[in-house]
Structures are given as structure tokens and as C-alpha cells.
Amino acid sequence: PLMFFGTTNLDLCFNVERLPTPGESLMGALTRHPGGKGANQAVAAARLGLKPHFYTYLGDDDAGQSLLKSLMEAGVRTEAITVCAGEVSGLAVVMVADDGSNMIVIDPGANSKVGPDMIESATKFIERDAIVVAEMGMPIPALNRLFEMKREKGFELIFNPAPVRPGLPSAAWRNVDFVTPNQTEAFELTGIEVCDFESAARAAEKLLDLGPGAALITLGAQGAYYADCTGSFSLRAFPVKVVDTTAAGDAFNGAFAASLAQRLPLKEAVRKALAVAALCVTRRGAQSSMPTAQAVDEFLQS
Ligand code: ADP
């Protein structure tokens, strides 16, 4: 059993020649696609053939309907999803310039309505051998309750601290089994600039001091670094031709969780996550760029 907790957004993406300056109007090409870190992660796992549950809040608007439909079509189990009366769905306006730089504004909408009591009822039926994944877009009190439930229920908890926000009680970290920041998030959490495996090792030490069982830092095109109290290892990223790095971290987290749920040994799980994320960056888009199990197997054999 595999369950994701997190945000769902409709992404409105403008491709522009360059980012606008204050007061300026620019022309751009608009595309709409489903997004939100939690949703992307759940879809990544579903594409790999698992049947993950996803816990999120949607608005009772057209966007919510189409987001729900795309999750179902991807193979995500949506029974735990709540459609909030009178709320709008999470919406992100993204501008991407030709040089790859971007600007993003998010209205969390229904995502901001998740409360601690709802988390308590959602986790009631989670079994001990379940893998639970949470990102940091959920309201902090709800996230904290999820971490407390881990202590009661004993499931395995992967925490992707993205985007890093203040307010999580320091005791909460001890309930985390794996914390999975990227370089920026690792810096925000530890103050250590992560630019290579050596600095990742120092950041991982500091992350472990916070209390999680293990730290797994992703370093973009360089790969990933893992450490727990018994040891550490690093694995290089697969060299690929990069088209669009959107949702690379989500692909990595979704695939890592899926691999643990399939009981792959730890190092194999990280390697599979690197392969899934590598394939993700060779394709445009977020959820649409998540590879199938077959594509990943072929990639690993080639
Ligand atoms: P985020 O997308 O959250 O910023 P990263 O940039 O660390 O996270 O990327 C996550 C993972 O995606 C990396 O660990 C790596 O496996 C894969 N990845 C990202 N960029 C590349 C790249 N240029 N080439 C190969 N793999 C990549």
C-alpha cells in the first residue's frame, strides 16, 4: 500500500520570449496542464504500475473536475480526495522564458483547507506496512498531524520538504523515515550550500541531526546522495538530453516511494528513482512526462 498526501493545482503556463518587467504587457502562448507536487508524485508512481492512493483537496469548479479526471486516468486511486464546496481549486500561473527562467504565482485555493482532524480520519485505516509520502504544500498543522499519526500507526514516512516553509515543530522530524530535499531545500534547511557530493554529505549530516532516519538529497544532473546513521552512498544521474526539468524531483520522489513499496533494496530504489527522473527530464510537461514501467525497464537495459 502506497499513499501520497499533497497539493493539486491547475498550471496555467505561459511561454514567453522573456519575463515581463513591472507594468509591461507581453504576448505569450498559454497551455493548461494538471500539476501540484503531490499530484505529480502520485501520477509518477501510478505510471510505474502501482495503484497509489492520493489525499488532496480540490475546489468544486471546472478545474477540480478536470484535475480529478486526469488523476483517475493516470491510475491514481481517488477515493480519499475531497471536493470542497464553495472553494476554488489550486491554481498556478507559470511564466517560462526562452532562456528557461521562470516566474510562478500560486493560489492554493482548496489546498489550504486541509485540517489536522481530516488527516486523522484519513490515516485511520492506513496499515503498518504502508508507505506514506508527504510534501510541504499542505497546511503545516495538517502535516504535523500526519507525522504524529506515523508514530501511532507505524507506517513508513517519506517527507519531501518542498517548498520549505517555517512552522514545523522540531519534534516532528523524528517521525520522518526519509527526508528528500533538492539542493535548494537542503540549503534552506541546513544553511549548507550543496554543490557536489562532498557538500551534500555535510548537509546530510546536518539533516540527520534534525531527527529523520535517513536523508536523500537530489542534486539535479549530478544525481543523489543518501545517508543514515549506518552509512552513506552516492549515485550519479543518468546522462540524458534535457528538454524540460519540470517535475524532475516529483518523478524522483514518486518512483522512490513506488520502489520501496515494491520492496526493492534501498540502493536499487534510488537507482530506479534516478532513471525515472532522467526520463522525465527528456520530455516536456509535468505529469505527461512521467514514464511507464516498461519505458524505465527498457532504459535501464539499454
Ligand atoms: P527538483 O526537480 O526538485 O529541483 P533536482 O533538480 O534535484 O530536483 O532533480 C531531481 C532528480 O531528477 C535528480 O536527482 C536526477 O535524478 C534527475 N535530474 C534532474 N536534472 C537532470 C539532468 N539534467 N539529467 C539527468 N537527470 C536529471
- Burial label for 294, CB within 10 Å (0-12, 13-18, 19+), is exposed
Domain 37-55+112-301 listed as CATH 3.40.1190.20: yes
Report the distance separating Cα 189 and Cα 60, nearest Å. 35
Question: Of 62, 98, 117, 250, which is the active-site residue?
Answer: 250
What is the model's pLDDT at position 203? 98
- Report CA(218)–ligand 1 centroid distance (Å): 7
Q: What is the signed CA dihedral for 135, 137, 140, 141, rounded to 10 degrees? A: -90
pLDDT tens by residue, 223-242 = 999 999 999 999 999 999 99
Spacing, Cα 277 to ligand 1 middle (Å) = 6
The ipTM (two decimal places) reads 0.99
| 4: pLDDT strictly greater than 80 | yes
Supply 283's cell numbers. 520530455
Which of 218, 271, 290, 296, when mutated, tests ligand 1's pocket best, judged by the most ligand atoms within 8 Å of its CB?
Answer: 218
pLDDT at 285: 83
pLDDT tens for residues 100-159?
788 999 999 999 999 999 998 899 889 999 999 999 999 999 999 999 999 999 999 999
CB of residue 248 inside a 6 A radius of ligand 1: yes
Question: How many Å apart are CA 15 and CA 3, to the nearest integer?
Answer: 33
> Does residue 9 have a known ligand-binding role?
yes
283 belongs to an annotated ligand binding site = yes
The 10s digit of each residue's pLDDT in 268-288 is 999 999 999 999 999 988 899
Split at pLDDT 50, 70, 90, the class of 243 is confident
Q: According to the model, what pLDDT value does residue 11 have?
A: 94
250 is an active site residue: yes
What is the average pLDDT value for the chain, to the nearest integer? Answer: 96
pLDDT for the residue 275 = 98
N- to C-terminal Cα separation, the chain? 30
pLDDT at 239: 97
For residue 30, the SS3 value is strand
Nearest C-alpha to atom 6 of ligand 1 is from which residue? Answer: 220
Q: Measure the CA–CA gap between 76 and 51, rounded to whole angstroms.
A: 6
Alpha helices (H) along 191-265: 197-210, 248-261
- Considering the entire predicted model, what is its pTM? 0.96
CA distance 139 to 14: 28
Annotated binding residue 246 = yes
Three-state DSSP at 118 gives helix
- As a whole number of angstroms, the distance between CA 92 and CA 96 comes to 12
pLDDT in tens, 192-218: 999 999 999 999 999 999 999 999 999
Residue 62 alpha carbon to ligand 1 centre in Å: 32
Instruction: For the chain, list the strands marked E by DSSP.
Output: 2-5, 9-16, 29-35, 53-55, 57-59, 82-84, 90-97, 102-107, 131-135, 156-160, 178-179, 214-218, 223-228, 231-236
The DSSP code for 163 is S
User: For ligand 1, is residue 219 a contact (CB within 6 Å)?
Assistant: yes
What is the CA 34 to chain-centroid distance, rounded?
14
pLDDT at 51: 96
What is the residue with the minimal CA distance to atom 8 of ligand 1? 249
pLDDT digits over 19-64, tens only? 999 999 999 999 999 999 999 999 999 999 999 999 999 999 999 9
- Amino acid 121: pLDDT: 86
Tens of pLDDT along 54-90?
999 999 999 999 999 999 999 999 999 999 999 999 9
Closest atom of ligand 1 to CA, residue 246: 2
Mutate to test the pocket of ligand 1, among 40, 184, 245 (most ligand atoms within 8 A of CB): 245
- How do residues 255-264 score in pLDDT, each as one tens digit? 999 999 999 9
Out of 194, 252, 274, 296, mutate this one to test ligand 1's pocket (max ligand atoms within 8 Å of CB): namely 252
CA gap 53, 45 in Å, rounded: 10
Q: What is the pLDDT of residue 84?
A: 96
289 lines ligand 1 (CB under 6 A): no
Ligand 1 centre distance from Cα of residue 26 (Å):
30
pLDDT at res. 93: 95
Is residue 240 in contact with ligand 1, taking CB distance under 6 Å? yes
Q: Using the mean position of ligand 1's atoms as its centre, give its distance from the Cα of residue 59 in Å.
A: 31
What are the domain boundaries of the chain?
37-55+112-301
Averaged pLDDT for residues 3-8:
98
Q: Binding site annotation covers 208?
A: no
Is 160 annotated to bind a ligand? Reply is no
Note the pLDDT tens digit of each residue in 155-197.
Answer: 999 999 999 999 999 999 999 999 999 999 999 999 999 999 9
